[in-house]
Amino acid sequence: MELEISIAPDVLFYIGSFPMTNSLLWSLFISAFLISIAFLVRFSLKTIPGTLQNCAEILVEEGFSFVRSVIGTEEKAKKVFPLFATLFLFILAANVFTYVPGQSAVTLYNEGGAGTPLFRAALADYSMVLVLTLISVFVVQIVAVMMHGPFGYLGKFLNFQSPLKFFLGLMNIVGELAKVLSLSFRLFGNIFAGEVLGAVILFLVPFIAPLPFMFLGVMTAIVQAFVFSTLTLVFITLASEIEADELVEQASM
Amino acid sequence: MELLQAFGIDYKILLAQLVNFAILFFVLYKVGYKPIFTFLEDRKRKIASGITMAEKAEAQLRAADAEKSAIIIDAKKEANTIITKAHELAEQGKEEKVKQAKDEIAAIIAKEREKIVAEKTQTLKEVKAEIADVIALALEKITGEKMDSEKDKAMIADMIRHK
């Protein structure tokens, strides 16, 4: 037995020229799971809620009140909440499902005899994380443009009023780009590192020793889901607010 | 580009992931959040209306209670007045009856008295007439002569007057 660690996900098979990776399969499975839960809740809504409905209600209600407390107004919260909740649920489910016992042992052998694990943590695939991050950052940009107008938003980055302001504008560009990297690598790094650490410990001491790391991993799974969705929420909140000096500018125009 | 490959980034997979997440987002929005929100809103409204209704019902109950006690007090008052009135009427009726009875009795007594007086005079008259006859007979026997009726009557009248 040897320890295999790859940053890139493994390709299971090709559909036409489309490479089906194990993490993509996993993320499809998680999406299907969440969708089926949603349908289950949707068609069993009762005035007196059952356990499942209670959980869903708590999640939706508490999540919404959290979003509102961060973003300020009910109206904005209603628009942002679906993205926030979906990001949170998807990341949480993807992370927690990694701890289903046995799933990492399922291996697919191809003709060459080389085995590829059928499942891989969806967020231990950088492309998945990158997609989530791009969605998040893209939404932030759209919100900012909607709030400030296209030229007002551009003016934040290209400001020729003074050398200092020009420099700060360039810094803003760097900041926006850094958002993509920091958001994506935080999530990817945590999950991937957790996976690798788990695999290494499991390789070295198969019994008992991996347990504390698994506990930590479960905690990370929940915390990272919360962190990613909350950071997105905070970025959107910041983008949706008009600063005071800008208000003065707009009034003087 | 090598870096991207090392991370296993392929635009096809990126696209697939994006579509996957978009579908998840859309379905959760349509099936999850929206209905749950409307459902929660509905229930909130229902509960609120229920509470206001209960409050209203309680207020109404209290009002009804107050009304009830007011009605009872009124009824008691009325009953009292009716009873006192009835008492008064009864008293009045009694007095009247007694008075009437007394009057009647007095009237009866007066009638009887008149009757007695009339009978008495009648009896006296009859007795007087009889006595006159008896005396006439006695006188006939004593005198031995049959007095004619005129003489006789004159004599008797004279005797009675001089008695």
Which amino acid does the sequence have at B116? I
Distance between start and end Cα atoms, chain A: 71
pLDDT at A221 over 80: yes
pLDDT at A113 over 80: no
Tally of domains within chain B:
1
| Cβ neighbours, 10 Å, residue A67 | 26
Q: What is the ipTM of this complex?
A: 0.77
**pLDDT on residue A245:** 58
Q: Where in the sequence is the domain holding B30, given as residue range(s)? A: 10-119
Binary contact (B43, A126; C-beta < 8 A): no
Q: What is the pLDDT of residues B131-140, one digit of tens each?
A: 888 887 887 7
Q: What is the pLDDT of residues B75-127, one digit of tens each?
A: 999 999 999 999 999 999 899 999 999 999 999 999 999 999 999 999 999 98
Q: What are phi and psi of A11, to 5 degrees?
A: -85, 125
Q: Are A57 and A48 in contact (CB under 8 A)?
A: no
- Averaged pLDDT of chain B: 86
Residues making up chain A, counted from first to last: 253
Cβ-Cβ contacts under 8 Å for A93 (sequence gap 6 or more) = A30, A33, A34
Whether B138 is in a domain gets the answer no
CA distance B139 to A180: 177
Residues of chain B contacting residue A86, judged by C-beta atoms under 8 Å apart: 21, 24-25, 28-29
Of B10, B21, B36, the CB nearest to A90: B21
Q: When comparing pLDDT for A103 and A215, which is higher?
A: A215
Indicate the pTM of the whole model: 0.69
**pLDDT on residue A241:** 80
pLDDT at A166 over 70: yes
pLDDT at A250 over 60: no
Binary contact (B36, A8; C-beta < 8 A): no
Percent of chain A with pLDDT over 70: 90
Binary contact (B12, A8; C-beta < 8 A): no
> Region A103-117: what's the mean pLDDT?
66
> Region B50-56: what's the mean pLDDT?
93
Q: In the structure encoding, which two tokens stand for residue B57, read together?
A: 């019902």
Whether B153 is in a domain gets the answer no
**pLDDT on residue B84:** 94
Of A6, A56, A86, the CB nearest to B36: A56
> Region A98-120: what's the mean pLDDT?
69
Q: When comparing pLDDT for B119 and A14, which is higher?
A: B119
Whether B142 is in a domain gets the answer no
For residue B147, what pLDDT band results from cuts at 50, 70 and 90? low
**pLDDT on residue A112:** 55
Whether B139 is in a domain gets the answer no
Whether B22 is in a domain gets the answer yes
**Minimum distance, in Å, between the CA of residue B55 and any CA atom of chain A:** 22
